[in-house]
Amino acid sequence: MRGALDAEEARAAEVAGPAEAEWRRLDARIIWVVTLWGSGLALVTLAIMWWRNAPWWLIAPVPVPLVCGIGYEALRWFKTRYRLTSTHVELKTGLLTRTHRSIPRNRVRSVDVTANPLHRVLRLALVRVGTGHRVSSTKAAVLSLNALSAADAEELRAGLVRRAGTGEQRAIARLDWRWLRFGPLSFATPLLGLSAVGATYETLDILGFDPDNVLIPDLIDWLGEANLLPVIVLGVLGLLLAGALGALGWYVETWWDFRLIREPHGALRASRGLFVTRSATLEEERLHGVEVAEPLMLRLGGGAYTYAVATGAGSTDDEASTFNTSALLPPAPIEESHRVAAAVLREERDPTASVRLVPHPRHALARRVRWAFFCGLGLGGVLVGLGVWLTPVLAHIGWVSALVVWVAGVLFARDGYRSLGHGITGRYVVTRHGSLKRRTIALRRSGVIGWTVTQWAWHRRSTLCRVTATTPGGRGAYHVKDVLMGEGLGFADEAVPGVLTPFLVRRGGTRGADDQGLS
Amino acid sequence: MGGTGSIADVISLPHEPLANPHAMRGIAKHPELKMAQSVTRDSRAESSGDADAELVLRPPSHPVDRRSVGWWLTQALVTVLPPVLILLLLALLIEPARTWLLLPAAIIGAPGLAYIVAMPPWRYRVHRWETTEDAVFTRAGWVRQQWRVAPMARIQTVDTIRGPLQQLFGLSTVVVTTASAAGPLRIDGLDHERARDLVEELADKAQVETGDAA
């Protein structure tokens, strides 16, 4: 049906003539970006080589990759053309294998604009047009224009997302600098501290100070004379401080000037960034819900992340990347998170806050404790076994680590169990789970496009299972973890009436055995 | 309710393609089997009353092709045997290291043997599928079992896959994708012709649905 429509529109475009269907080049200044970047890199390399007295035959080939890079970029610019017709956005590119990609405009689900510092100096921007389809690879689902002039980029973005709409542009949220305190509340902080030490070591090594033979022996000598306890305490504090500074810097760079805006036609636009600026536009019709994520440290500090559950954004890859296109808010107080979630969904109250979550059965707790027990047993067992065989030190390490795993495991098990919950509120289904990263997800009931029930054979008797709602948005599947089958199915059937109904039966008693495989 | 539902499904079966003799045999055997189950289930539900009756997913109505057992068995053999045989061969050739080669062979071999013996028949009992006017319903797995439902209106593509081993047994896998990134529904181990008919039927029922939900 839509195919016919497309064809009709295509014919209309042909009639409209070539005036609007003019092929355009990327901005030629993109060659300058590569030139500047490459020259900078080459200069630094040359400087280090000069400093280290490198022989001439090592120095001589340095400009070769630079020239190649510039040549490649110039050719790529020369061979790349794009155009925006009334029905499609098209891109022709490629040196050896030519590709011609064309995305129907009514399939455009996202337009992301990013600019790194060099782009910004030259007033350029990289535009990514997404269709939200990730059936094959994510790469194929995105049409990337590197780069347009900033003005062209904005024009293209506006042209692609513009719909009939009479609302006015309205800011939903802005960065509040008091939220900076959430920056260091992350497990990344100590790691950043350690990486600072590593980076210092590497730099010294590159500059030829030979830290292995000069600095480290000196350090060991000095440590031998010093009082160890304060040194260790100060060292750890120093690491954490360096890490916290790094995390603050990261927060500032990532979330500088964050703004979440509702555009006149209803789309949401989140823009941010100090050096690298990023802007993501989310069509309202591809929004299927919100997720409030609270990593452990952030949760203890009363903060949370807020993500959109939207088609083509918020996959597992996205969450790890620096430019998560589904982020609706920086790490912020949980109340703010709920306020923004409600505003984004156009609801009175955030469904993840207003919902009454049903707690899960004790089996879920028992399962978690059992896991902790077996993990401790496995680790301790292996170490003690090796210890008996090799050296008693390992045996001691073994039982201590088993104890640590058991204690920590039980704590996490209890916390994870308390996190579990599911419920229905208004137009949404809500589920919550996780301890290290507690996630509360509210999904529009209309956005649920199927159900999956997963059960391990040894949970047949207790009927513990996982009920998963599948949706076109975000990670594609959202779980209600460790719920009794009867309750989980009842919940799923109530949430989205009709989908599961023909396949459900009522069965009396608690004995669960018919023809469902071996018990 | 559920019991009568499954009888109705069985009765409405003739709308499905019956071209292939295997499918015929499967269905011909099916009604009595299914009805017997439904009757016992109904009486049980009535005797215990509806109040404390719990909801369960009924098994989808069709089993997969019997030849799947052979296919899964071959798969298991192909996975387990090569490393074990190589280790045994090396143990035979390299005398000094014999214990150190037999030990890993045993460590891989013992669970491997259990896998070879248990997995194929277990899978055969679990794997079932069903299509109605509105949805596709599958059950798969063995130790970890998964029921999946996809409404017909949300189906985006329907494909068949035939791996080299499957071709040997005359089997196909039908893959049904929706807009979700969580992975497609798969019906493993259908007879070739049955699979082809099913794909046609699904493509027909699901129309040329494109685009994502909402």
The secondary structure of A454-479 as a DSSP string is EEEGGGTTTTEEEEEEE-SBTTSEEE
Contact A470, B178 (CB under 8 A): yes
- Same domain? For A248 and A149 the reply is no
Residue A440 lies in a domain: no
Residue A190 lies in a domain: yes
The total number of structural domains that make up chain B? 2
Confidence of residue A511 (pLDDT cuts 50, 70, 90): very low
Q: How many CB pairs under 8 A join A and B?
A: 187
Mean pLDDT is highest, among A26-30, A115-119, A153-157, B117-121, for: B117-121
Q: Are strands A287-295 and A99-104 parallel, antiparallel or unpaired?
A: unpaired
Give the span between the Cα atoms of B121 and B66, in whole angstroms.
Answer: 10
Asked whether the predicted pLDDT for residue A325 surpasses 90, the reply is: no
- Same domain? For A73 and A125 the reply is yes
In the predicted model, what is the mean pLDDT of residues A216-241?
Answer: 85
Contact A482, A367 (CB under 8 A): yes
Which chain B residues have a beta carbon less than 8 Å from that of A446? 213-214
Q: Output the pLDDT for position A442.
A: 95
Residue A508 lies in a domain: no
Residue in B137, B139, B212 nearest the CB of A311? B212
Q: Output the pLDDT for position A335.
A: 94
- Same domain? For A190 and A112 the reply is no
pLDDT, one tens digit per residue, over B61-87 is 999 999 999 999 999 999 999 999 999
Q: Is B125 on the interface with A (CB under 8 A)?
A: yes
Residue B156 lies in a domain: no
- Same domain? For A216 and A157 the reply is no
Residue B134 lies in a domain: no
**Whole-number Cα distances in Å, A321 to A315, A326, B58:** 10, 11, 42
- Same domain? For A112 and A194 the reply is no
Is A444 in Cβ contact with B147 (below 8 Å)? no
Asked whether the predicted pLDDT for residue A464 surpasses 60, the reply is: yes
Full domain range(s) for residue A238: 182-254
Q: Output the pLDDT for position A282.
A: 85
Output A221 or A512, whichever has higher pLDDT: A221
Confidence of residue A133 (pLDDT cuts 50, 70, 90): low
Smallest Cα distance from B150 to chain A, Å: 5
Q: Output the pLDDT for position A141.
A: 65
In the predicted model, what is the mean pLDDT of residues B6-11?
Answer: 36
- Which of A89-103, A364-378, B168-182 has the least mean pLDDT? A89-103
Q: Which residue of chain A has the CA closest to B181? A: A476
The total number of structural domains that make up chain A? 2
Is B180 in Cβ contact with A515 (below 8 Å)? no
Q: What are the residue ranges of helices labelled H in A390-445?
A: 392-419
For the four alpha carbons of A296, A297, A302 and A304, in that order, the dihedral sign comes to negative
Asked whether the predicted pLDDT for residue A457 surpasses 60, the reply is: yes
Residue A210 lies in a domain: yes
Residue B88 lies in a domain: yes
Confidence of residue A4 (pLDDT cuts 50, 70, 90): very low
**Strand (E) or helix (H) holding A437:** strand A437-444
In the predicted model, what is the mean pLDDT of residues A415-443?
Answer: 94
**Whole-number Cα distances in Å, A366 to A225, A363, A492, A519:** 51, 5, 24, 20
- Same domain? For A205 and A72 the reply is no
Can you tell me whether residue A513 is helix, strand or coil? coil
Residue in B6, B130, B151 nearest the CB of A449? B151
Residue A224 lies in a domain: yes
Is B214 in Cβ contact with A285 (below 8 Å)? yes
Residue in B2, B37, B212 nearest the CB of A286? B212
Smallest Cα distance from A485 to chain B, Å: 7
Closest by Cα among A439, A463, A240 to B56: A463
Contact A258, A291 (CB under 8 A): no
- Which residue among A202, A235, A254 closes a domain? A254
Residue in A452, A493, A502 nearest the CB of B146? A452
Confidence of residue A321 (pLDDT cuts 50, 70, 90): low
Full domain range(s) for residue B71: 67-124
- Same domain? For A157 and A201 the reply is no
- Same domain? For A146 and A187 the reply is no
- Same domain? For B53 and B2 the reply is yes
- Same domain? For A188 and A113 the reply is no
- Same domain? For A76 and A132 the reply is yes
Q: Output the pLDDT for position A299.
A: 94
Q: Is B147 on the interface with A (CB under 8 A)?
A: yes
Which chain B residues have a beta carbon less than 8 Å from that of A518? 122, 125
CB atoms within 10 A of CB A1: 9
Residues B95, B98, B103: CA angle, nearest 5 degrees:
175
- Same domain? For B90 and B72 the reply is yes
- Which residue among B109, B124, B139 closes a domain? B124
In the predicted model, what is the mean pLDDT of residues A242-258?
Answer: 92
- Same domain? For A115 and A145 the reply is yes
Q: Output the pLDDT for position B4.
A: 37
Confidence of residue A98 (pLDDT cuts 50, 70, 90): confident
To test the contact with chain A by mutation, choose from B7, B38, B147 the residue with the greatest count of A C-beta atoms within 10 A, namely B147
A43 HSE (CA, 13 A, CB side):
6
Q: Which strands form A170-174's sheet, in the order they lie side by side?
A: A142-149, A124-130, A110-115, A277-282, A268-272, A259-262, A170-174
Output B5 or A75, whichever has higher pLDDT: A75
Which chain A residues have a beta carbon less than 8 Å from that of B154? 449-450
Residue B5 lies in a domain: yes
Q: Output the pLDDT for position A20.
A: 56
For the four alpha carbons of A309, A315, A321 and A325, in that order, the dihedral sign comes to negative
Residue in B53, B148, B181 nearest the CB of A506? B53
- Which residue among A254, A275, A301 closes a domain? A254
Which chain B residues have a beta carbon less than 8 Å from that of A471? 180, 213
